[in-house]
Structures are given as structure tokens and as C-alpha cells.
């Protein structure tokens, strides 16, 4: 089983004025294990197919991760940011399934 150490990005919303919220990004580092590695090409009407990796990374979660797992947006893996598709809570770990590349707009 491969080891993991890297950044995970969270996105929450902060109220700036009545009815107006702005996104706030928080980045934290975590240790874990890579429990599954796979990839597939998503066929589309584009010139180049999209890459979708379905890796599962099991991180050792801290109290912040448990209380904010619903705000997890991306994980840094091999120098790129990837979308976190699903988060499974299995105390004392969180199992993250990675999807396609994350594009912050």
C-alpha cells in the first residue's frame, strides 16, 4: 500500500453583508494511505478525452476534517489538484475517492 502526504482544500462561505456570501478556501495537510489506484478516459465531444482517476486515499482525520468533511473540494496528487468525488467516514479515517481534475474558476 502506497503512502500519501499532501494538501486538501476546503471551501466554505463567509457572510460579508446581508444576503452576500463569499467563498473562503482553507488548505490543510494530511497523512494517509493510497488504497486503490485506477484511471479511465471519459469519452466526450471534445478533441481530447477527460482523465478520471478513481483512486481512493484513506487519510488519518483530525477533528477539523471530521467536522468539515462536507466542505472538502480538492486533493493535491502528483502535483495536480483533483476533485474529491466522495468522502466516506470510517472513524478514525476518512476515505476520499478522487474524480477528475479540479478547475477553480
Does this model's pTM top 0.85? My answer is no
What pLDDT digit, counting tens, does each position of 50-103 carry? 677 888 999 999 999 999 999 999 999 889 999 999 999 998 999 999 988 898
Residue ranges per structural domain of the chain: 2-43+50-101
Phi, psi of 27, deg, nearest 5 = -120, 130
CA distance 7 to 97: 15
pLDDT tens readout for residues 45-58: 666 666 778 889 99
Joined together, the cell numbers standing for residue 91 give 472513524
Identify the burial level of 32 via C-beta atoms within 10 angstroms of its C-beta, where 0-12 means exposed, 13-18 middle and 19 or more buried: buried
Contact 77, 98 (CB under 8 A): yes
* CATH of span 2-43+50-101: 2.40.10
Amino acid at each position: 500500500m502506497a503512502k500519501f502526504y499532501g494538501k486538501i482544500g476546503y471551501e466554505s462561505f463567509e457572510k460579508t453583508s446581508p444576503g452576500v456570501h463569499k467563498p473562503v478556501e482553507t488548505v490543510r495537510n494530511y497523512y494517509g494511505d493510497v488504497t486503490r489506484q485506477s484511471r479511465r478516459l471519459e469519452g466526450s465531444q471534445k478533441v481530447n478525452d477527460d482523465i478520471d482517476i478513481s483512486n481512493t486515499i484513506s487519510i488519518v482525520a483530525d477533528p477539523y476534517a471530521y467536522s468539515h468533511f462536507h466542505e472538502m473540494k480538492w486533493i493535491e496528487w502528483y502535483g495536480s489538484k483533483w476533485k474529491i468525488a466522495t468522502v466516506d467516514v470510517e472513524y478514525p479515517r476518512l476515505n476520499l475517492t478522487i474524480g477528475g481534475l479540479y478547475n477553480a474558476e
